[in-house]
Amino acid sequence: MKPFEFKYFTLHQSPLVMKVSTDSILLGSWAKTGSAKTILDIGTGTGILALLLASKSNAKIDALDISKAAIQTAESNFKNNIWASNMRVFNSSLQHFSSQEKYDIIISNPPYFEEAILSPKQEKSMARNQAGLSFKELIRYTALLLQKSGSAYFCFPSKSEESITQYAEKSALFLKKKMYVRSFQNQAPYLVLAELGFVEYETQTEHLVIYTSEKKYTAEFIELTKESYGVRF
């Protein structure tokens, strides 16, 4: 598969690992690293989220995935960039992942297909289905691994917002900020980017439209992703 060129790194892909998505690029661009010292990327895939956060922080980053193919791909991508010494990979499910420290930031672009039929290739199937990790479990384990002052960043379909918010509150996590993402101005949001934390805030709400009516990227999309993509539009 053709490598994907970002502003600060090149991402190599594998046919056995979920390819680069606009959702992940948006989430990695939107997430704030601040002064974070430790970051956990759950379900790293190609390593895209870990690398996007590495490009704007000096944090130590752990990347976790149950897929061996994903771990091999992510590890190769990490070794080919200047942040390699700050990055580690773990071939493990979240349920069996053991860490002696808690993280300042946890980030994940979780699978969306809670009831999807498994695809023929097992590696990609695990990446696309929630058979091994439900949203509920993702949030529960995130609450166990996140620093009390930390932030968790997720993206999920807009139709799942209510249930995910309820799961989060049961784990004492609250929506600090969210962004509704539309493909076009006249369409309903299809995606929510969310920042969660242990302190209950009044939720800040943002909106993003990806394309103009001429099917070109909007100014706000270009502004949000310029440090990820670089000047390429």
DSSP states along 150-170 = EEEEEEEEGGGHHHHHHHHHH
E strands of 52-171, at which residues?
60-65, 87-91, 103-108, 146-157
Token readout for 179 is: 């962004």
Token readout for 200 is: 């209950």
Cα 28 from Cα 22, distance rounded (Å)? 10
Task: Quickly tell me which residue has 């992703």 as its tokens.
Answer: 225
Report the predicted TM-score, pTM, of the whole model to 2 decimal places.
0.90
Cα 167 from Cα 194, distance rounded (Å)? 13
Q: Are the C-beta atoms of 45 and 110 separated by less than 8 Å?
A: no
In the chain, where the domains are located = 4-166
pLDDT in tens, the chain (233 residues): 788 899 999 999 998 898 889 999 999 999 999 999 999 999 999 999 999 999 999 999 999 999 999 999 999 999 989 999 999 999 999 999 988 889 999 999 986 544 333 444 544 444 444 446 789 999 999 999 999 999 999 999 999 999 999 999 999 999 999 999 999 999 999 999 999 999 998 999 999 999 999 999 999 999 999 999 865 54
Q: What is the CATH number of domain 4-166?
A: 3.40.50.150
